[in-house]
Amino acid sequence: VKIKVRLFGTLGQNISGYRHSQEIEVEIPNGAMVRDLLTHLRISETQGVAVIAEGRILEVNDMLQDGSLVNVMQAVSGG
């Protein structure tokens, strides 16, 4: 499945030349879960990371749908 991903916080710094809010396309196997996407993106620590699609925070075991847009974000506790 192909997933459109946007990286936020300091996560974009893992990819050289990444500009804020830029969509990148990621191909992962059918049936892949949020956890697999994070592994693919080399985001090892799940603590403090929130994957948000269509306004909802996904859990690591949630399955990803082909063509969906997900925002990979970091937890912040208030401003």
Partner 1 sequence: MEMGMKFIRVNMNKKSIQVEDVPGEYAGLGGRGLTSTMINAEVPPKCDPLGPENKLIFAPGLLSGTPLPNTSRLSVGAKSPLTGGIKESNVGGTVAAALAHLGITAIIIEGQAPGGELSFLRIDEKGEASLVEAQAYKGQRTYELVEKLFGIYGEKTSVLCIGPAGEYRMNVASIQSTDVDGRPCRAAGRGGMGAVMGAKGLKALIIDQRGKSSDPIANPKAFKEAIKAIVEAVKADPMSGNVMPNLGTAALVAPVNAMGAFPSYNATRGTLDGWEKICGEAMAELIKERKGKTTHRGCDQCMIHCSNEFVGKDGQFVTSSLEYETIWATGGMTGIADLDTIARLDHLCDDIGVDTMSTGVAVAVAMDAGYKEFGDAKAAIEMIEEIGKGTEFGRILGSGPVAVGEHFNHARVPAIKGQSIAAYDPRAMLGLGVTYATSPMGADHTAGNLVGAYLEHMLDPLSPEGQVETSRFLQITMAAFDTMGQCFMANVALLSPNHFEAFRKVINAKLGTQLEPDDFPIALGIRVLKAEKEFNRKAGFTNEDDRLPRFFYDEPLPPHNTVFVISNEEIDKALDF
77 in contact with partner 1 (CB under 8 A): yes
Q: How many other C-beta atoms are found inside a 10 Å radius of the C-beta of residue 5?
A: 21
Q: Are strands 49-53 and 56-58 parallel, antiparallel or unpaired?
A: antiparallel
Q: Any idea which residue has 């049936």 for tokens? A: 31
Distance CA 75, CA 2 (A): 25
Between residue 56 and residue 75, which ones bind partner 1 under the rule CB under 8 A? 56-57, 59, 71, 73-75
User: In whole angstroms, how close is the CB of 63 to partner 1 at the nearest point?
Assistant: 17
76 in contact with partner 1 (CB under 8 A): yes
In the three-class reduction of DSSP (H, G, I as helix; E, B as strand; rest coil), residue 56 is classed as: strand
User: In whole angstroms, how close is the CB of 9 to partner 1 at the nearest point?
Assistant: 5
Residues that bind partner 1 (CB under 8 A): 8-10, 12, 19-21, 45, 47-48, 50, 52, 54-57, 59, 71, 73-79
